[in-house]
Amino acid sequence: MKSNDPDVEYWRAVIDAADLGVWDYDLETGEKTYSDKWREIRGLKEDEVTQLSDEDWLNTLHPDDVATARRFTTMINEGTANKISYEYRERNASGGYTWYMCRGRGVQFDQAGRATRFVGIDTDVSTMKMLEADRLAAAQQLEIALTIAEIGVWKYNIGDETAVWDRRVRKIYGLPEVSSPLPLDFWDRSLHPDDSARVLAASKIGQDLKQPYDLDYRIVRQNGEVRYVRSRVTFTDEGPDGPCFIGADWDVTDDVKKADDLSTATKIAQDRLAQLLVSQRELEYLNGHDSLTGINNRRAFEAHAAKLAPDGVASKGLGVMVIDVDNLKVINDSWGHAFGDAVLKDVANVIRAELGSVGIVARTGGDEFVALVSKSPSPQALGEMAETIVAKVRLLLSDGVPPRSISVGVSNSFEQARTVQDLIRLADRALYQSKNAGRSRVSFA
């Protein structure tokens, strides 16, 4: 129901634009009401009944999240909570799980101060959770690479003039690996007397220019032991604590002693650095590509989409295809997962070859692909491309195995400006039309 109060309508528009699903629970009557956006982010129809009991709802959650959700639900029902905030996974229409963040608070109370009405918002945070997992995996992979290469990392914050050394740098300098504050001049005082002036001068030049620089020098540990160190330093103004210098140090003492020549040790250190750079490039590739098919993963797809639509609105002519491999579970169950994996690779190759330079494709789920076409001249051309992909997949034959097939949903921004996420949602709905119509076909939003 529309309100005559402009402030109410303003905030209603803000909540809707932010994709916040609102729920309202009257504990005295037991009535639960939900906004259209709450249903939309769950893929429910506007008039679909959602009066589930608490137990029925808990049965739709991921087993690992039931205890937390039950605890907060009980607190609301017993009137022991005035404010709640938690995350959970809820089973969606495709059989997978969607992450939601739930926040709510009491808005009406009885004479004893117990909440008798709770209002809250649910937010779909699946993308955020996926990015968190990707970042964690990348950090873990980098940590493994640094540990294997015995490379220590340090950071010097320009704003507050503080330095942070990781455990590997501390080990190089003969310090306990536990974190503890270091005097600002500790590094200066650790330099070998014969190298100090040269290294400090080179460091000052690099820092003044705010450009990457390399250093080779000796340090003297507190016990008098001399060690040879190689450093690579770079500047960034995008750190969480403001502008800073980030350095990578590694101990090349053993290499120097073996070669008995600092120039040879430098070459060895450079080779190690090259190996690290290769490893970093490999990690970057792995973080952006699906390990099975070799095409982009969801993370790379979203980064590419953000470049095409930096303000969130897709440019005119942008097209999206959501593609699903038909009956992949049957294929896996009947001919084995190795054959199913081969089917996914074949389908990925067909899509990638057909798109060429006009778009990208990513594997976003077990049997699902999403293609982003940025240079299609017309909706008709986009549809013809999708039909060609479907036809070419049908030609992928193997002895004794039924023909492969895919279903495709297509959307575009030729007639109306839309966000990339809107295009994906529309294409996803069109995909279900293809499936409901018998699969192995293209449907348009």
CATH of the domain at 232: 3.30.450.20
- Considering the domain architecture, whether residues 262 and 138 belong to the same structural domain is answered as yes
Give the integer Cα–Cα distance in Å for 323 and 365: 10
Looking at residue 60, what is its pLDDT?
A: 92
* Structural domain contains residue 165: yes
What pLDDT, on the 0 to 100 scale, is given for residue 137?
62
Whether 118 and 135 map to the same domain: the answer is no
My answer on whether 114 and 138 are in the same domain is no
* Same-domain check for residues 80 and 38: yes
pLDDT single digits (tens) 193-244: 999 999 999 999 988 998 889 999 999 999 999 999 999 888 888 766 788 8
| Residues 71 and 138 grouped into a single domain | no
CA separation for the pair 320, 314 (Å, rounded): 10
pLDDT at 66: 96
Structure tokens at 383: 């549809």
| Cα-to-chain-centroid distance, residue 108 | 39
Burial 286-320 (b: 16+ CB within 10 A, else e): ebbbbeebebbbbbbbbebbeeebeeeebeebbbb
> Does 220 map to a domain?
yes
Give just the sign of the alpha carbon dihedral 417, 423, 425, 427.
positive
- What whole-number distance in Å separates Cα of residue 258 and Cα of residue 363? 49
The number of domains in the chain is 3
Whole-number Å distance between alpha carbons of 105 and 83: 4
pLDDT of residue 399: 61
Phi, psi of 21 (to 5 degrees): -90, 120
Domain match, 120 and 135 both: no
1: in domain: no
One domain, residues 308 and 424: yes
Domain assignment of residue 135, given as a range: 130-288
Reference 94, options 440, 372, 386, 365; nearest CA is 365
Domain C-terminal end among 288, 315, 343: 288
Contact 62, 89 (CB under 8 A): yes
CA distance 113 to 108: 9
Q: How many CB atoms lie within 10 A of CB 348?
A: 22
Quick check: helix, strand or coil at residue 298? helix
Residues 267 and 399 in one domain: no
In a domain, 144, yes or no: yes
Identify the H or E element spanning 170.
Answer: helix 167-172
Residue 94 shares a structural domain with residue 177: no
Give all strands (DSSP E) within 132-184, no chain letters.
Answer: 151-157, 162-165
Domain with residue 308: its CATH number is 3.30.70.270
Q: Determine, yes or no, domain membership for 199.
A: yes
Per run of 10 residues, the mean pLDDT along the chain (length 445 residues) is 55 68 90 87 75 87 95 92 93 90 93 91 86 65 59 84 86 82 86 95 91 92 93 81 85 80 69 74 71 87 83 80 93 87 93 92 91 87 94 80 86 82 92 93 93
Strands 442-444 and 406-412 turn out to be parallel
Same domain? For 334 and 417 the reply is yes
Whether the Cβ atoms of residue 169 and residue 179 lie closer than 8 Å to each other: no
The DSSP H or E segment spanning 142 is helix 126-149
Single-letter amino acid code for the residue at 292:
L
| pLDDT of res. 16 | 67
Which residue pairs from 272-275 have beta carbons closer than 8 angstroms and sit at least 24 positions apart in sequence?
Answer: 272/149, 272/151, 273/230, 273/232, 275/149
Task: Note whether 138 and 116 are same-domain residues.
Answer: no
Q: Is residue 259 part of a domain?
A: yes
Last residue of a domain, one of 288, 319, 344: 288
Same domain, 151 and 284: yes
Residues 432 and 439: their CA atoms lie apart, in Å, by 9
**Residue 217 is assigned to a structural domain of this protein:** yes
How much is the pLDDT for 1?
45
Q: Do the domain assignments include residue 427?
A: yes
Domain boundary, last residue among 124, 153, 171: 124
| Contact criterion met (CB below 8 Å) for 169 and 153 | yes
Structure tokens at 48: 């679909």
Q: What are phi and psi of 177, to 5 degrees?
A: -75, -15
Give the amino acid at 413: S
